[in-house]
Each structure stands twice: as C-alpha cells, then as structure tokens.
Chain A
C-alpha cells in the first residue's frame, strides 16, 4: 500500500512499487485523462504535476511519489477551470487532442513558475510532441492564459 495525494485527496494505492505513476493513475485510480504516448518520457503525453513540478508519469515509479501530491488534468485548477484550459478553449487549440492534457499540464506548471513566460520559456518548458501540429495555437494559448490568470488575480 502506498499513500499519496491525488488531486487534493489522500489515496492508498495497492500496486507494485515499480509500477509507473501513469499506469497507477489509469489502471488503479480510473483517471484516464493522463495519456500513454511513448513510455520513455520522450513525448510528454503523460505529464502530471508532482508537488507542482511537471513530471512525465510514464517514467516515475509509484514508490518515488509516496507521500507526494499529484495533480492530473482531472484535478487541474481545483474547483474552477484553470486559466490554461480556458485559453485552450478560447483559442480552439486541440485537434485530435490526445496530447493536450500533457501540454496543458506542462503549460500550467510553467505559468505557476513564470506568470509571464516568453516564447523562449515556452520553447524550453513545452517539449512535448503533438503530431497534429497544434504548436502555434498552444504558444498563443499559453500567452493568453498568462493574461487571463493575471486578470483573475
């Protein structure tokens, strides 16, 4: 049994200690919003926050997140929709959409660290893959989310 906090709620997980967090989320906790893309931390589809840090969950075993706080796309923003999600909807970012939860989680972590990110910040923080090629819309949406979050404060 491994105890951790998932989207603000304490959960006890009965799974192998070497089971990657991605599969714990998808198979043990029924949180399928976090996606499997490559299994080798190369594409970012599985990005979640571990203690606020954007983390590729396919390559983090369960025992390394024991006692930590994990946020997934389902819990992002807490009770209200996150500014990144609002911006993503306003700018109609997704195409197939499979990679977008990972991008949104990476963007939310960037915005938490740098409320007004530059293009260079976006380039270095959002290294995920989108095969539909939504990068230009994602870049605009990150800037838009920064504006929205600023207005909310």
Chain B
C-alpha cells in the first residue's frame, strides 16, 4: 500500500478512540533510528533503533507495544527476525523507551472518530489538536488492534537494515563482495555456502558502520517465519511463574498502598479519622487525595486490612451524582431515542422507502461493562532527587510519562516508564488514573518506592466502563422478497473517545461518538440512515475490547436476522445478497457457513446463529451453536472465520479469536454493571462473573488468508460477532428474540 510509505498524521488515538495530540509527517524509514537509539548493554551492539546483537548470538528486538496476552512481542520480533534470517530461538525482546521512532502511527489514523472520507472534519480536528495541544507529538501506545499494522513496514525494514549492516561487516572481514553472501539461521555464508561468521561473532566487528535506510524487504513468497506458528517468546516464563507483572515489581524498601476511591462518581474525600489506638503495626501513613484515601504500609495486606477493616473512618462528600441510577439513565436514553439531537448522521441510498414497504421496528440495549483484567490495577513509582521512575503494566508509556511528569511537576525528560507484562489490558490500561494516584503518593513520600494496588472491588467499581447503549431500528421490508431492505437506526450511548482526551489532558469532552460505533456497515441496503446521539454524563466510559463494535455489532447483526426472518429469507442467504459486491466479506461468510454445516439439521431445542462484523481492518464471521435447557443457555460450539490479510502467526491469530470470543461471551451471558446511589452495585467476580471452563464452547477457527488484502488487526475483531451469533442461535432454538444484554430467558 502506497499510503503506508508516507502518511499525513492528524491526531492520536487509543483503543480505537481519539486522543488528538498533533500532526506530522511520518515515513517508515524515518522510524529506523540510528545506532544510539536502542541502548546496548555489555556485550551487545545496536544495529539500528530496533535491533541489538550480542556476542553470545542473542538478537534483541525493541518491543514498544505492551504484551497483554495478544502475543505482540512475538509477532513484532518475528517481523525483524524474518528479514534478518535470524534463528528464532536466538531472538528475545526488550521493553522500548518512549521515543519518537517507537510511536504508534497506525493508532492515530485508524481510530479517528470519523470516517476517512470526511476530509472537512479532519481539518477541524487538526485545528483543534493544534490549538489545544502542542509539544506532545504522537504516542507509544498499544490498542485499536493496530500494533502489527503499524510495525509491518518499519520493523521489517529494521530487520532488513540490520541484516545488511551485518553482511557489510562480514564482507569486510572475509574480503568478499557483500552481494555474494547469504544468511541461514543467523549464520553468514559465502557464495560456496561456507560459514564466514555468525551474527554473534560479527557483533564485535561492526566498527563505525551505519545502518542504511533504503534496504529492500522480502516479498510475500519469500517468507520463512511469517505465516508459521512460531513459539511465543513469553510462554516459558509465564508457565514457570517467573514472568514479571506490575504487581511483581519489588524494589528495596518498597512501600505498598491500598486505595479506597470515593464510592460515588464525581465525589470527593472529606477527611478520615484514625483510631484512638493510633496506627497499627506496619502502617506508615494515611494520605488523603482529592478523590481517594490511601493507606501506605510495609505490606499491602496490612494496608488493605487497615483501610477496609473499620478502624479507619473514611469520610466522603458524595458530590453531585449521589442520586445517579443506571435505570434512570436507561429511561433518559429511551427518551433520546425518540427525540435526541444527533451529533452525527450518515445516510446513503433513497431518502424514502418504497410505497409498498412494510416497517419492522425493534429496540435493543446493552449495559455498562467493566474490563476486569485478571491483574488488578497497579502502578509502582519512585520520586527521588528530581527524577520520577514508573513501573507499570500500561498500554501507553507516552501517556503515563506525560501525566506522571505533569503530576510530579517535572519535565518529561526526568521521567522514565518501565512497562511490565500486563495481566490483561482490554483498553483499561490505556487510562491514566493509576499513574496519577501513584505519583501523588510518591510526592508525599519522596525517596520511597511505592506500589499502589487496587483490590478487585476497587477495580470493578472504579473502571472506565463500556458505555451503556441503546438502538432503535426501523427496517423497511419490500413487498418483493427478492428486493433488498432499507435500514434506519438511531443509536444512543456515551463516547469513550469524547471523554478520554478530557481526562488525560484536562480539557472538555469533544462530544463525538466513538468512531467505530458509527462505521458504515458493509451491507448494500436499499437505503441506510444512522443517527448517533451522544449524551454526556458523569459515568466514566472507556475503551473496552472492540469499543463501539462490542455493542453495535450485537444490535445490527441481531436486527438483520429479524429482517431476514420478516422477509422469509435465510439469515445467511440475505447476508450473502447484501454482500454480493464485497468478495472478501463473502469469502469469510462462506467459510464459516461451510465449516458450521449451515442448514444441516440440529437436535431439538438447539439452534445456529450467524453474525459478521468487519472491524479494525479485519472481517470476522461466526456461527454459534446453542442448546437451551429451560432457562439455561449453553453455547456448545463456535465456528469463527477471519480474514485479516497476511497472517503473521496463525497460532496467535487462532488464540486471539478464541480470546475475543470468550471475552464477548462472558459479557453476553454474565456482564452487567449497574449504578445506584451514584455508585456501582457490583464488586467482585461473584457478581460480575465470567465464562469458565465448564461453559467454554468448542471453538473452531478458519483463517481466510488473502496475500493482497491490507493487514488487519486480530486483538479485538473476534469479540463483536459472538453476542449476535449467540442471540440469533437462541432465537433459532426457541423462537425467542432477546434484544437486551446480557441474555436472559424468562
């Protein structure tokens, strides 16, 4: 793709939403970096900004994207290793610093809150960004399923450039022409196939050689590692229990902080009273922050016991939202469905339905959801002699550094962020609340490393939630059953993209919907109109795996089933008719239909449902097989087809499909956050449960590879289709159409 060579960047984005932070030209070769960028340790030499070679033969790749389970460290390292012709077992990764060459360019483009064709608004956005924010150009960030798409050109170039540099050193050493040399498994060989030196042996001989920026990369047919299920770099440590997460950071004389956040949204602290007996053993200090009270101790358990045990009295000012209730918000949204003013309208096709059309209306809802990463929220920080160091499982070291510096009153060059393994991210760890809290405590106790760790209850009750949302559809059903239906939808929900820049940068909401909640569907409806109403409110909303698609796919794909049934057409067949000019979508749809045996008989009280969603550059279609026993919904089997262009690691793509399905299924069967009295009612896994082993469907994934299609993401696209596939299967099994999540049979 030509565009990947030179991109005009406008704005910045995390997790599919918008953080608009500036603009500049970025060329892939400008991101190579020289030999000083990637800091070499004893026995290592850097070849460019992305690769180091050790005398022991190790090849270390800079990994500026957070490893939160999606296998990104291994996928990125494979891009470099491929071009170097490196031996895979020699390859390791290292957390990369927050530097320009590592910034995620793709995330800026991909998640902008409008469709790319809307050039007028891009100009507005650039103006907005330019006026509001200067000096912060782009971000090192992981989200929006962008990492491989972003790295595809620069990291392959880094590998090719590293190989070229090593070959030039080898040619000088052997006194031969560089063009005659080949590399097999990190070993440089001459024209006769005889070994000249290994990469490790060449490390000491590089002298002042500099990396070239115009080195060709391999063509698709030449790949040796890309496309193979290479073993993941992070797996052995994760199996042996030695992988270091944020909660595992241990520093000399480290203190631990347990946190009680003000229970109500928008509330504040109003002091605390210590027990008359004084502070218990091990408790160092109780610190009042604007919206939280922290107990700092020599043990987190001691801190949390004192904080929650009842001896320490916490006082809160519940603030302006003490009466907030999610049922009342839902009622407001129902009103907005009728008469709310749209922030965005999109339409195409005829303005009015045919005179003989019948109308089919339906209203759908989806609740707020928490992320519930397995590793509870945490951040470790040390403010010492004017320098701030942060150790944190996070999705954007740039943002953590920016906010950490601001909170500490330091220049950004005095702040270092170390990104640990993330025990899950799902969008939650793009948020800056933990770093703000940790640095505030570090300021109160300078010179002491402090690890802030939230309990699970704090995590569930103080998240940035997937927005509650509702949609009202009206389809026009043509009298001619072979004609295509028309489609109108009014959508109401808060926007993470609108809130996020505000809480990071301290500015107001933009008011724009999440870009991917208003993406135009691929279907050739006879007419199409979308009105998106974006209410603002005190409930903090954030990027939840697949963001807008997580609920709009449920709305759209279940309603499309209703339309098919109203037209007397098969749900697969109607989708095929609506996609007849979209060969990539059709290929994915047909692949899943074939694998699932669509149309073949099933036992009684069992049904199949199909759904398709294109998101984050990939197309995913799923068929769920559901058995209903009384009120119990059992998802027995899920067939999943994905078209994501070139597959870098098929094992990782399959794992991400299973992962996305389970994440979406947990939400569809269990997930619901409700608010009463201004506070979240759920607190821990017993009331915010997840799919477990016994409920796990068998998942079969089909990779529909197309070498000439643009690369798509894989971290999020598996999630959107599962809820509608299950909803449609429940209808097929029972004749009951469930239009509200989570699914409940009454």
Query: Hey, which bits of chain A sit against chain B, CB under 8 A?
Result: 16, 19-20, 23, 27, 30, 32-40, 42-43, 45, 72-74, 81, 85, 88-89, 92-101, 104, 122-124, 126-139
Contacts and interface: CB of A to CB of B under 8 A. Distances in A.
A129 B424 contact: no
A61 to B, nearest CB: 11
B421 A96 contact: yes
Contacts of A93: 235, 239
Interface string B656-686: 0011111100100000000000000000111
Interface stretch (B29-37, B353-361, B514-522, B692-700): B692-700
Interface stretch (B111-119, B367-375, B380-388, B562-570): B367-375
B693 A43 contact: no
Interface string B31-69: 000000000000000000000000000000000000111
A97 B238 contact: yes
A73 B241 contact: yes
Given A27-B300, A96-B69, A133 B691 contact: yes
A111 B228 CA distance: 32
Interface in B416-439: 421-426
A92 B658 contact: no
Contact of B374 (A74, A126, A127, A129): A129
A19 B693 contact: no
Interface string B697-709: 0110000000000
Contacts of B223: none
A85 B231 contact: no
Contacts of B510: none
Given A33-B242, A100-B239, A92 B299 contact: no
Interface stretch (B19-27, B175-183, B243-251, B725-733): B243-251
B236 interface: yes
Given A124-B694, A127-B693, A133 B662 contact: yes
Contacts of B186: none
Given A38-B684, A42-B684, A97-B234, A27 B658 contact: no
The 7 A-B residue pairs whose C-beta atoms are closest, nearest first, are A133-B662, A33-B241, A98-B423, A97-B238, A96-B69, A95-B69, A73-B241
B693 A94 contact: no
B301 A101 contact: no
Give the most central of B70, B238, B453, B662: most A CB within 10 Å: B238
A89 B233 CA distance: 11
Nearest to A84: B239
Interface of B: 67-71, 229, 231-232, 234-243, 245, 247-248, 250, 299-302, 372-376, 421-426, 453, 455-456, 651, 655, 658-663, 666, 684-686, 690-694, 696, 698-699
A42 B686 contact: yes
A89 B374 contact: no
B456 A136 contact: no
B658 to A, nearest CB: 5
B397 to A, nearest CB: 18
Contact of A134 (B373, B426, B658, B686): B658
A97 B421 contact: yes
Give the most central of A20, A97, A130, A134: most B CB within 10 Å: A97
B68 A74 contact: no
Contacts of A123: 693-694
Contacts of A133: 658-663, 691, 696
B693 A135 contact: yes
A100 B714 CA distance: 22
A74 B229 CA distance: 28
A74 B242 CA distance: 8
Nearest to B298: A27
B635 to A, nearest CB: 12
A66 B135 CA distance: 58
Nearest to A86: B239
Contacts of A96: 67-69, 373-375, 421-425
A121 B449 CA distance: 45
Contacts of B68: 96
Contacts of A38: 456, 684-685
A40 B651 contact: no
